[in-house]
Structure formats: structure tokens, C-alpha cells
Structure 1
Amino acid sequence: MKARVEVVAIDCLMVRLFDVIAEPNMPWMLAASQRLRASFAGHLIDLVPSYTTLMVHYDLRALSPSQARELIDTALTDLQPDAQAGGQCHVLPVWYDLSVGPELSLLARRSGLSVAEVIARHSGREYQVFALGFAPGFAFMGLVDEVLAAPRLNTPRKRVAMGSVGIAERQTAAYPVVSPGGWNLIGRTPSKLFDRERDGYSLMQPGDRVRFEAVEPAEFIRLGGDDRSLEVSP
């Protein structure tokens, strides 16, 4: 594997391992992340993984740009994914309903499926967590069934309820906090995705796997879900 190193800032380099998003990339990304953390050790300020890249923010007072590149080259030499490595598997209960998932009917029309089939397709596979971003605890997951892929809304909503589950292109995610957003909403989870008291804050981390499990409204409420409506129109 030939990684490309790109300059992001005077003290920040981007390591590009792949050019396309794919689930088989993740073991390589995790292995590279571990190697880079070990290589930079105390000189690493932050390491931000994404679908195909790793952003390395290092201490410029301790390392020159050329030294940082040398550490990257050393870390990635003979890189191999760890067959035993793997993140946690999370099961997120979801109440799929038009009252909290207003795009369910839209996705059904686009795909030619019934609403029940859309729910079955979305909850019927396991998803890889590729990256965290946008909001604290917001995990970008994929890949959804191609028939469910849908572009983001033309006009993002000003407020999306905490726990809202959505689809954008072939990605899926759940909103950890109330925030703006333009994803197609299909349901809501009662799971606490972001917690300041949790180590690492986020329930999920890159490399984890997620399965959505359809639940009835009574179970959603029992688990702490909030069925109150929030602004759901763009």
C-alpha cells in the first residue's frame, strides 16, 4: 500500500490511504492509526481518522515537518491489518415511524418499496462506523442498501431531534444532540450517543459495528426515548 502525505497546515499532515469509501478499508485504517499513535507518541496532538484519510496534528516545537514525514513513513512500512482487531458491536433500538421519521414515505416511494420493507432493509444489516464528526458523538456509518440511498435534503432542517436516525447517500447516522441537519429522517433511537461522563464521550468509535433494531413505541419510551415532536420541516 502506497500512502500519500498531504500538507494541511504548518503542523498538520494528511495521510491518504484510499481514494474510495469501502468497508474493507477499516482494518487498514485502524492498523495505520495504531502505528501512527505509537510512532509519534508524546509529540502527537491529535489524530483524526476519516473514511480514507488520517489527519496527523503534531507538536511543531518537538518535530520538524520533515521529521514528521519520516515518522509517518516508518509507521506505515510493512503495514498489515490486525485480523484480531475489531471494535465493539452496538445494537441501537429504533422506533421507525412517520411521526419521528418523516422521510420514511419518501424513501419508500423512491425505492419502490413499502415503508415496512424500508425499515426491514435498514435494520437488516450491520454497519461499520467510519468516522466521527459534524457534532460530538455523531458517527458516520455505512454502507446502507443501495436501494435506500438518498441525497441530503435541499434545505437542511434548523433543528433535528436528539436520537433521530437518518440516511444520506449510502451513509446512515443518529443525531446525538439537537442540531441542524439535512439527512432523511426515518426513526429515532433512545440510546445516549454522547455523554460527557463517558470515556471518549461518544458511544461509538471508528471501527465499531452497529445494528439497528426496530422497537415498538412503548419499548422506545420505556428505554428513555422522547416521542415529542421537534421542528421536522425544512
Structure 2
Amino acid sequence: MEKTIAAIGDGVIRIEFASDVSPQMNQQIQYTCRLIQERSIYGVIELVPGYQTITLYYEPIKIRFEALVGKLENLLAKEQDQEIIQEKTRLLHIPVCYGGEHGPDLSDVAKRHHMTEDEVVKRHQQPEYLVYLLGFLPGFPYLGGLDSAIATPRLQEPRAKTPAGSVGIADAQTGIYPLSSPGGWNIIGNTPIPLFDAEKKEDAFLFQPGDRVKFFEISEADYSQLPLGNKWEEVIADE
């Protein structure tokens, strides 16, 4: 697969993959990230996977741009001859209370697609989603695999405040707001599960790129009673 390496700022390099967005493309990106991390290149600070890119942050005072590009080119050239090793991924089951005050846009989404609200909910729950990347807010998962029948454009006028845990649809994606924030996604429900813990130095984010996600519906009563905090294991299963 063809890849290009370019500087996009001081201390920032982007590796771009010439391929369409797909689960296979995501698998390739995750594999390449692991190879770079395993090499432990001096001066590299962080890798950020995207839909078709890997953004690499480094310290120019520790490694020159040309030297880093040379190391990356050698690594990517060797990667061409290697078979992608698929690591075991997590499947996280996320409870959602749909509609009502938790999903103020569910009705509009249903009307737009000439469906009942229950049908929208059913179609939203059916797929097994893939976490392509985190962005926008700390720990915000961009999930691919949404049923095209309920794909819905962003709101024309974004909300000034979208509550933490809001589950939304934007075009062909679905996602979850980890924090309260302005936002333009169509909110169809809310999960009581915390996605981001600023107090944690490690594993502060619930999701990681490459994770798989399934949603299941809960009632208002269940939503109020589900444990919060760090008791995620009671509502999330790893497979």
C-alpha cells in the first residue's frame, strides 16, 4: 500500500495511506502504529491514528526531520514484506437510554428517514461498530459502521451545550460525547458510562482506536440506577 510522509508543522509528521476508509485500512494503520511504537525511536513523543493517516509528534532538538523520515521510510519498506498480524480487540457493550430528554433529536432523525423512533433505535443498535479514531474532545470515539438508512447530516445550528454521554449521529458516523461541550451532532440517546477520567495518568480514555462497540437499550430506571465511577466492568464486556 502506497504511503507518503510529509512535515505538517514544527515537530509534526503525517504518514498518509493511499486507500479508502475501511476496517482493513484501520487495521493497517493500527499495525503500523504498533511497529513504530515497538521501534521506540528516540525523540518521538506521540502517535495519533486517523482515518487514513498517522500523525507523529517528535522533538526536533532530539532528532532531525531528515533522520526521522529515513527511519520511518526504512520501517515502512520492511513492513511491505510483512503480513499484518491482527491483535485481539475488545468488544465493549455500551448501554444507551434513547429518546426523551436524553435523545432530543431522535424524533427529527426518525421523521427525516420516514421511520418510527423505535426503528431508528433498532437500526442504531444492530451494527458492531469500529472505533476508527479519537478526537474533537478527549476520548471522543468516531465510530464507523452506521446503518446508511439512518445517516443524518449535522445540525444546521450547533447546540451551545451537549451533555456528557450524549450518543449522536453525524453523516455516516456515530459517536459519544465524553464531556459536556458545544456540538452539532444529532443526539439520539445518552449513556451513563464515563468515557474520560482526567484524574487518571494512564488509561484515562474508555475507548481506544481499533476497539469494537455494540450498543444496547436501557430504560430510564436502569439509566438512573447503573453504577458510575470506575465500575465499568459491570456494564462492559471484553471479548
Q: How many residues align?
A: 224
Q: Which residue pairs with 1:211 in the alignment?
A: 214
Worse overlay, 154-163 or 59-68 = 59-68
Q: Distance in 1 between matches of 2:17 and 2:44?
A: 19
What does the per-residue CA deviation read over 1:64-112, in whole Å, with 9 as the maximum and x for residues that have no partner? 11111111112212424213x1332111100011321111111112222
2:42–2:62 contact (8 Å) kept in structure 1: no
1:50 aligns with 2:47: no
Question: Secondary structure, in 3 states, of the residue corresponding to 1:57?
Answer: strand
Q: What are the superposed Cα offsets for residues 162-218 of structure 1, whole Å, 9 maximum, x if unpaired?
A: 111000011111111111110000000001100124423100000111111101111
User: In the alignment, is residue 2 of structure 1 matched against residue 5 of structure 2?
Assistant: no
- After the TM superposition, which parts of structure 1 deviate over 4 Å for at least 4 consecutive aligned residues? none
Distance in 2, matches of 1:18 and 1:99, equals 43
The answer to whether structure 1 residue 200 and structure 2 residue 215 are counterparts is no
The alpha carbon displacement at 1:17 in A equals 1.3
Any conservation in 2 of the 1:160–1:181 contact (CA below 8 Å)? Answer: yes
Cα distance in 2 for partners of 1:71, 1:158 equals 45
What CA distance in whole angstroms lies between the structure 1 residues aligned with 2:31 and 2:216? Answer: 30
CA–CA separation in structure 1 for the residues paired with 2:99 and 2:154: 19
Q: Which residue of 2 aligns with 1:183?
A: 185
Partner of 2:41, secondary structure, is: helix
- Identity rate, percent: 33
SS in 1 for 2:214: strand
Q: Does the alignment pair 1:81 with 2:88?
A: no
Q: Distance in 1 between matches of 2:49 and 2:168?
A: 22
Please give the per-residue CA displacement for 1:8-34, whole angstroms capped at 9, x wherever unaligned: 113211001144322221210111101
Shift in Å at residue 224 of structure 1?
Answer: 4.6
TM-score (norm 2): 0.89
8 Å contact kept, 2:42–2:63: no
Question: Hey, what does 1:221 align to over in structure 2?
Answer: 224
The residue number in structure 2 matching 1:166 is: 168
**Contact preservation (8 Å) 1:30, 1:81:** no
Do the aligned partners of 2:29 and 2:49 also contact (CA within 8 Å) in 1? yes
1:121-132 to 2 correspondence within 5 Å?
A: 121-132=123-134
What is aligned with 1:14? 14
What is the alpha-carbon root mean square deviation over aligned residues?
1.5
**Structure 1 residue 40: deviation in Å?**
4.5
1:42 CA drift (Å)? 3.5
Unmatched 5+ stretches in structure 2? 229-239
Task: Identify the residue that residue 135 of structure 1 maps to in structure 2.
Answer: 137
User: What amino acid is aligned across from residue 114 of structure 1 in structure 2?
Assistant: T
Counterpart in the other structure of 2:63: 63
Identify unmatched segments of 5+ residues in structure 1: 226-234
